Chain A
């Protein structure tokens, strides 16, 4: 497949079947390989969409500085796009995200402002909003509240999945900014009667939730509960186990958030299979495992890996 530039090659990722993890020929699980995007994650889609939207509405002009709270993938995608398009990028990132992500960001020329580990992404959002107030000329794209985030999936990911799998019955993805689920979910709900849209939310340990005041929580502005059929909380142990299972049974080397989505997908598949039904379940492989090697997620026993992940934002 030939493209004029790297940015033009975005999307059109493969949808591959998982013959060994699917319970039967009637209940099938399909993986949307979003690691096959220019910088290796699904975030290339919203990053490019947000940049292009800001260019269209005149907020982004040559030489501008982009600011974004990000635990990694969006930042990496933005860094690449900013480099190619001539913008400066500043990422606010929790200090407990993996070393690979920070190295990649610096490689593409982004500046990193660390935010306290204890607050997780909530804290990164707070710090970024503060910086944006102090620097009104910086452009905060703000993936958590930017409709172009969900729009990228409504116009891209969703139509691609439906074209490859017209018999789809369930769509499962990880819940972060909620952009993937909102965009793909809205598109599929318009096209597929009875479709189920299922969110898989990473459940971290106490270190991440910390002493957060319950009145100061965070729900992304673009989140609309009515798009979802349901939402599961997936513990790190289950996410890790499924990430390894995906590699050993189907050969797919994915990041840990993919294990989170796969856990929910397998749960649904098992339920439908036991009830004697049929299903075509598509779930998202958000990125490959490369950026998580240093977390120790792929080495030793599951218990050891879980201990090593403690206190880290693995998704």
Chain B
């Protein structure tokens, strides 16, 4: 089972510059653990004391995981996960 994860510029130092990497896991938490084995250190940048960092947004197939079950969000083969820094939005 494979999940495609897009990585923001700021974290590409952990992925040898790759914009998108593969990972696996039944849940988002498991995926992050897997990513951290493949790209040591990346987990710490996403999590703080076992929770998603406040200024890190993670989307499963474009939907914010905070509304899907957070770190317990279930993942399936072929899902796309996007990690983005929180920014002040547009239209303002």
Among A71, A74, A216, A257, the residue within 8 A (CB) of B55 is A216
Q: Do the beta carbons of B59 and A177 come within 8 Å of each other? A: no
List CB contacts (< 8 Å) of B14-48 with chain A: 19, 45
Q: Do the beta carbons of B67 and A144 come within 8 Å of each other? A: no
List CB contacts (< 8 Å) of A95-114 with chain B: none
Among A121, A214, A219, the residue within 8 A (CB) of B10 is A214
Among A69, A174, A206, the residue within 8 A (CB) of B89 is A174
Q: Do the beta carbons of A210 and B9 come within 8 Å of each other? A: yes
Q: Do the beta carbons of B85 and A73 come within 8 Å of each other? A: no
Residues from chain B with Cβ under 8 Å of A125 in the complex: 88
Q: Do the beta carbons of B88 and A122 come within 8 Å of each other? A: yes
Among A174, A228, A232, the residue within 8 A (CB) of B90 is A174
Type the 1/0 row for B54-92, where 1 means its CB is closer than 8 Å to any CB of A.
111101001110111000000000000010111111111
A150 beta carbon closer than 8 Å to chain B: no
B interface bracket (residues with beta carbon within 8 Å of A): 20 to 34
A interface bracket (residues with beta carbon within 8 Å of B): 35 or more
Shortest Cβ gap from B71 to chain A (Å): 15
A235-B6 Cα distance, complex, nearest whole Å: 13
A313-B56 Cα distance, complex, nearest whole Å: 20
A219 touching B90 in the complex, CB below 8 Å, given contacts A211-B10, A233-B59? no
Q: Do the beta carbons of B91 and A286 come within 8 Å of each other? A: yes
A230-B63 Cα distance, complex, nearest whole Å: 7
Shortest Cβ gap from A170 to chain B (Å): 14
Q: Do the beta carbons of A71 and B9 come within 8 Å of each other? A: no
Q: Do the beta carbons of A176 and B62 come within 8 Å of each other? A: no
A55-B15 Cα distance, complex, nearest whole Å: 52
A121 touching B89 in the complex, CB below 8 Å, given contacts A212-B10, A214-B55, A232-B62? yes
A225 touching B54 in the complex, CB below 8 Å, given contacts A177-B89, A219-B86? no
A42-B90 Cα distance, complex, nearest whole Å: 13
A229 beta carbon closer than 8 Å to chain B: yes
Among A42, A121, A214, A233, the residue within 8 A (CB) of B45 is A214
A176-B89 Cα distance, complex, nearest whole Å: 4
Residues from chain A with Cβ under 8 Å of B85 in the complex: 209, 212, 214, 217
